[in-house]
Chain A
């Protein structure tokens, strides 16, 4: 454990520190993001739109390096919709397996009934 904690010596952020928004240029976007997150049970994934808005506002006002949104991990693969779709897909799969299993159980019980 102690070995690990030495490795964990906190290092600085990748892109350096965020310059402070002294002129409150992006305060509106921040407010909207905070409101959205309150509504959606504190899951940042569901408020991606406002997150993107805020970061773009920062980029436009020179408070952040300009960069592709997909490079920042905000592409469509990690969106809330794709997560819901995957959830639905897995749920359907489980349902199918369950119905199959129930059918097999029925068959076997009928067979055993017939034997008797």
Chain B
């Protein structure tokens, strides 16, 4: 009863000013609600962004290490068995197509689990062209492959070797400490790692290197021509353009003496000596 009378009262007294007042009130309420909603969504968004550093701090606090960017190889929390040594032998195989010399510098190494070690391979490109190679490896016994962790090496990536270039290829690795607890590897003392070097099917890198080398040589030849032309006097624009757009045959590019271009003074001296010796 009382409610009905209230309704009747409000209905009767909803004059024009009253309606306006209610409307502005309504708008205010809706605006409040809108701001509240925006704030809510914004807070949720911000939480999603903030969760990343928060998670990191949380993990650090509770000591739950994860595999993010900067991995720690110092084996801080783990107790390493320093006296159980593994004898690791390194082998190498080459693709006969590639015509490389590929050998390990250290035939074998003695390490214990958890120790970070550096090992070198030596590669020599016997070809006259640059070759792009690709290295993969195999481990014997296979179960030990689980624990062979590489920090950095030269494998799984296309490597370009210039003609007649000899390089030292490093491998930086360690054996995970968990290898000591593996029941299948209880009696394992020797591990063999075999690296195989293939000639990459895609020799684009080598082609790019060759092209780059050729363009550098061509530019030098053009500059040489400019030098010689300027000695005789100032050049007009037309002549400049002509010189810049000269085309050279492959034979001319090969015969060009790059050393003479790079060291003009010494080349001039050498020429003088030659003339004197002729005389």
Contact = CB atoms under 8 A, between A and B. Distances in A.
Interface residues of B, number: 50
A27 B120 CA distance: 11
Interface centre among A21, A41, A42, A70 (most CB of B within 10 A): A42
A17 B70 CA distance: 16
A13 to B, nearest CB: 4
A16 B118 contact: no
A43 B152 contact: no
A116 interface: no
Interface in B48-104: 70-75, 80, 82-83
A93 interface: no
B167 A20 contact: yes
A72 B156 contact: no
B214 to A, nearest CB: 18
A112 interface: no
Given A14-B152, A17-B156, A18-B152, 11 more contacts: A14-B71, A15-B152, A22-B167, A26-B168, A42-B109, A44-B115, A45-B117, A55-B118, A78-B114, A78-B115, A87-B83
Interface of A: 1, 4-5, 7-8, 10, 12-18, 20-22, 26-27, 30, 33-34, 37, 41-45, 51, 54-55, 64, 67, 70-75, 77-78, 83, 86-87
28 contacts: A10-B136, A10-B156, A13-B152, A13-B153, A13-B155, A14-B71, A14-B150, A14-B152, A15-B151, A16-B157, A17-B152, A17-B155, A18-B169, A21-B167, A22-B165, A26-B168, A27-B168, A34-B106, A34-B120, A43-B109, A44-B118, A54-B118, A72-B73, A72-B116, A73-B74, A78-B114, A78-B115, A83-B82
Interface of B: 70-75, 80, 82-83, 105-111, 114-120, 136-137, 139, 142-143, 145-146, 149-157, 159-162, 165, 167-170, 172, 174
